[in-house]
Chain A
């Protein structure tokens, strides 16, 4: 950095490893000129991607996703909960993203990783995707509750008006929940009484760039592996897992183990921009040397779910954005195929 001209002369004299350490940017630029990357990939190619479903036996759904050496383990645990009053026939998903110190030399014990809350926020935005609409229903619901509290102390004719307003508001509240990747209504068991709470935990085992891509892929794979267990009512009127309690003779609340329907599955690709080059699926080294990162999330119907570019020295022009989206489109097809293969592989077993 400090001696940009000197490095050019040094390149023939020092060893490759020393040059890489001393002038990382120069080292990369020399590769980029040849349209190749130090790990022998062309610029637009992502690393080898694998998905292993059912990696955690004790979870209801789990997957281990690897992109290059970045490894994420996602597991879903289902629990029965009482649905909240405003969404009596919907379940809930809680997403948590962990970056333990083993995942990267940058993460130190006792100090939470900086990237973890940001990736977690992006994940829940992508998977849940309807927080915005929830807010609207909350406003309606607020008025609804407020009017209800009035109704206890008002004359009869007012009550009738209030009833009508209430009904309208209730309809508004009910129809405002749009589904994201997962229809939360599918997670309902008994309306107003019991619904599923899906705890999705994603552990980063090795952080070598493209954290969000791998985390999202593992989450999607875990949801496609998820099987909702059979539950039935016990003597106290509580809902329990049939197998655990030995209540298999009773009529179950839900008929059988079933998979969840994923309506539009999001896939993402992270690119690094450097000068006029676009490097798909960067490693941690590439991310640290070239600081402009663009993450594009497209769903299976090619709609744009997110285009995330937090700053960076390179300005993205329309053509660069179009190229990134085109690369993502290709990548979505690849990932869909990999996921399908993983699922069909499971069914054969």
Chain B
């Protein structure tokens, strides 16, 4: 494990790899983001000399993969199916190598309470939280449960769907009166809602890449949204958020963020590429919020920003992921 920027990977050897399929789109709430990520990664790999085809995750996908099996699949699906391991399970059924983590690791990482519990056991700070289904509020009385929540966790709280991305359904709750609405918004995106103690500080995203010689952190990116909250609008409207890379942190804190991100990557059993979302509070404590097994690669995403800042080429980097995936083949966990 190291926090030094990884060296530029040597160029891929395109003829040896064969056709690569980028799967993007799907039917999750993050379809639009996924399509943009997929397009950018596909274009980058084409620029690196690979033969790339981009396919949607619909009923035509499996027949097409079966008819003309690619050398490797790059899943760029965000949200459920893409990040909960399901698409990778199917790729394994088809004996198709793919870039990224195995299904079990995806399931753990995509489920925020599970990921938080695992990284906490590894010694990483993560805000105290409670995860509950709607039925608990209905059966035990919402007022009583919400009162217990705020008594235990205090205010403000961050309320979010337990299994979702792109800040969809997330709310900051500053008063008890805000909590019911925030819970309803979170349940609009899934059956489980996570209430988490709100940590004030600098938001930092750290990409982790593994090109065959172990996971290494990219330069941390600090995030400074104009409106103070890094919501969907701030994430995907160019110009509405200022990013700093390297992050506006002391070298020691930047090093600590990188260490935490690599530790998260290893603890959750992730592969090839991941992103950890962290917050550094005013006392300099680094808090883990969530991990992403299919981080965004849109024009406004943080990982490609760090890739570029570290002097890497996105296409060459993905070529290395593809080489690694093809070399390891499919090994059922």
- Note whether A and B form a binding pair: no
